[in-house]
Amino acid sequence: MTTQTIGERIKRNEDPQLLTGQAQFTDDVHLPDMLHAALKRSAYAHAEILGVDVAEARALPGVIAVYTAADLGDFWQPSPLLVPPPPAEHIIFNQRTAGQLARDKVRYVGEPIALVIAESRYIAEDAAELIEVEYEPLDAVVDLHQALTNDGPLVHDDVGSNIAAHVIQRKGDYEIARAQADLVITRRMLYDRGTAAPMEGRGVVAHFDPLARQLTVWDSTQAPIPIRNGLARMLGLSERQVRVIARFVGGGFGPKVMMFYPEETLIPWAAMRLERPIKWIEDRLENFVAMTHERGQVHDAEIALTKDGKILGVKDVFLHDTGAYDPYGLTVPINTQCTLLGPYVVPHYYTEFHAVFTNKTIVTPYRGAGRQHGVFVMERLLDLAARELGLDPIEIRRRNLIPPDQFPWCNEIIFQDFTKLTYDSGNYEPVLNKARDMIGWDEFQQEAPRLRAEGKLVGIGLVMYVEGTGIGPYEGARVQVEATGKLTVATGVGTQGQGHYTVFAQIAADALGVPIDQVYVSTGDTSQFNWGSGTFASRGATVAGTAIYAAAQQVRQKALKLAADALEAAEEDIDLVDGFAQVRGVPGRRISLATLAAQANPLRGAVQPGTEPGLEATAYFGPPMGATAVGAHAMIVEVDPDSFNLKIQRYVVVHDCGTVINPLILEGQVQGGVAQGIGNAFFEQLHYDESGQLLNASFMDYLLPTANDVPTIEIGHEETRSPLNPLGVKGAGEAGAIPVGPLYAQALDNALAEAGIEILEIPLNPCKLWEMVQAAQSKVGG
């Protein structure tokens, strides 16, 4: 029988290494003669730098060098714009990116000012403390509305305002919708800042070997190939001389895609200058202020509906906090604009945002990448409309779902992949129904009155979202059957826990009939594969997976041709099974793929012109547009009437991401996403004071959900294959995290319905809930 692993709950290839502590993360790299780096970072959110005195630091025994911006000379440069602005209808974009070390001004707490290189990390940190920075503090821009006005401090004087961008996108004409509406709901909604907090912080180790003329960089990054390309360019090297390694990364979630964090260029530069390997590993405090954040928007949103609850149009005007610089362009707010539309028919849509600079950490995509905010707005508007119209939340959603025969469905506006937002395929009502059944919606409605009479504050919620996944530009893969018998897969899409070493192996193993434990996957190492962008936007399985599939199919064709010759049989009579090419029905007539591979690479003899050696193929996949997945989350929650703490009684996810390659890994992704969503909804909020100081930069004060806070999640699947790739896959990495905020809002509005609250902000916490209940009750005079 040919092995079929796609669809199976296969154990992961990478786990034995990880479980025995033998996987090499960046800080696990030890090189002889290695030096250590530390950074002096800004203590102010906004200040002029009048002087930096490094004399005492340089004099400390064990310190090798201290660099400020002036010492970088020509190497000092603002980082590139990683994602240019999309071709939206109306767009103003002010690009401002940071140099590696601050020169005249600092614009956020944590911005790097000086780099110390020393014999040990301890000495480097001692030296950093000895650096004296003379600041002229300036008023900080913290509040988004204040940032928008022109009377107040400017983050970038030369922009003339704090506006980083202004974008308007339209579908149809919202004024028509409003004119026809039976009901218009208008609300202001708030979605506040959080951080990804991967358990492994950022780190870079750089080693330039002067004899080999090779620069090797270990970097805890999600995108080693762009880093390699940029470093080669900046350092005057050939790409062939630079190798970036990120084979094991302890969690990425988005913020580890960057080109560049200052340290990513400073450390290699210093390593080449000092001719010794240098290691820099950030600590958690640095991670809080210097790794990028996300969330941070204020929406003024409006929905126009008929009295039957059909959406006529939506208008959304919002502010997006981009932080002190905008190297990642407009990916996050564009995702907000697009994902707001959800699985619904929205005939008219007006969406406008201002991205504003603030004196806070830079904002770049973090799992969800702006989708959360859009989904929150739409789901809340629907819930509020449902309440007004006397519909239940499920019914109002059902009435607006895009029908299954309407795909591909074009929403006109421009998506983060620079194409018109188009949903490739989908069947939404089964997902809604399954979630409703799994959570026991009807049973709850029957039980609830009795429970509430007993004083239990129980509530239920169900929300939906559509997630654009699997976008380009492209990924590639090289698949090879070696004479060793091993099947190798090399690609540019690395893994930070998503199981790519396994999922990618499954695709190739199935195509060639090779046992999965004979597959060697190489990723996260630029010396192994030359082209690709990286792991982000839920695209690994879809884009790299398809390239692997294509390359594997080409190798399959080559193998069958060679086997047909060797076995003197017709290609169509040959099966590939367990590493052999086997004539069907004739057990003795077979040849191993290893032997075929060896024969395809002869040491003597003549090779036919136009042939390639070995059993190898390289293929690329550039999807014309992304594949859209859909999901529904539902939960039953109980609020403690005294502490306002929550107990989640049940949590259901129904998910449609097309073909599932490994259900075990997929479930892990959904569960992990939900946990981050729960953190985002109820535990995690970054608190800034009016001078731009981050007040809760530690795990004591920024609460991550623990095993006691995340419930068991019940997962249901639907499968609507994507027509955009042969495997029919869609992405799933961010799905769990996206709709949790509005789900909490709906379920808690329901649980606290007697108080008559209306939740319009995320994150929540027990104090906020209590305050809302107090405010609502005092309005009623009770």
Binding site for another protein (CB under 8 A): 9, 11-12, 14-16, 18-25, 27-28, 30, 121-122, 196-201, 248-251, 253, 283-284, 496-499, 664-665, 667-668, 671-676, 698-700, 704, 706-708, 710, 712-713, 736
Helix spans in 494-592 (H): 500-512, 545-567
Pair of tokens at residue 258: 């960057």
Query: Is residue 137 left, alpha or beta, with left meaning phi > 0 and alpha meaning psi from -120 to 50?
Result: beta
Between residues 14 and 192, which has the closer beta carbon with respect to another protein? Answer: 14
Task: Return the number of the residue (153 or 668) whose C-beta is nearest another protein.
Answer: 668
* Least distance in angstroms from the C-beta of 666 to another protein: 10
Q: At closest approach, how far in Å is the CB of 366 from another protein?
A: 11
Q: Kindly state the tokens that stand for 153.
A: 């401090």
| Residue nearer to another protein on the CB measure, 203 or 470 | 203
In the bound state with another protein, the residue whose beta carbon lies nearer, of 176 and 664, is 664
CB of 383 to another protein, least distance (A): 25
Distance CA 287, CA 290 (A): 5
Contacts of 533 (CB under 8 A, 6+ apart): 223, 225, 226, 473, 474, 475, 492
Smallest separation (angstroms) from another protein to the CB of 522: 18
Query: Which is nearer to another protein, 555 or 743 (by Cβ)?
Result: 743
Report strand pairing: 409-414 vs 348-357.
unpaired
What would you measure as the largest C-alpha separation in the chain, in angstroms?
96
DSSP-assigned beta bridge partners for residue 411: none
Beta bridge partners of 128: none
> What is the closest distance, in whole angstroms, from the C-beta atom of residue 15 to another protein in the complex?
5
In the beta sheet, which residues pair with residue 353?
A: 167, 318
Q: Which is nearer to another protein, 20 or 238 (CB)?
A: 20
Distance CA 695, CA 278 (A): 32
C-beta closer to another protein: residue 611 or 712: 712
Cα distances (Å, whole numbers) of residue 207 to 33, 270, 279, 442, 526: 10, 10, 9, 63, 15
- Which of 606/707 has CB closer to another protein? 707
| CA neighbor of 526 nearest in space, from 99, 740, 163, 230 | 230
Residue type at 770 in one-letter notation: W
Minimum distance from residue 206 beta carbon to another protein (Å)? 18
Shortest distance in whole angstroms from residue 248 CB to another protein: 7
State residue 505 phi and psi, 5-degree precision. Answer: -65, -40
Tell me the closest approach of the beta carbon of residue 295 to another protein, in angstroms: 16
Q: Which of 110, 66, 124, 80 is nearest to 280 (CA)?
A: 124
Provide the 10 A C-beta neighbour count for residue 182: 13
Q: Is the peptide bond before 112 cis (omega within 30 degrees of 0)?
A: no
Report d(CA 494, CA 330) in Å as an integer.
Answer: 24
The strand pairing partners of 323, in sequence order, are: 357
- Report the residue number, 124 or 346, with the smaller CB distance to another protein: 124
Separation CA 383–CA 309 (nearest Å): 11
DSSP class of 490: E
Nearer to another protein, 62 or 80 (CB): 62
Supply the minimum distance, in Å, between the C-beta of residue 115 and another protein. 21
Residue 7 CB, nearest approach to another protein (Å): 15
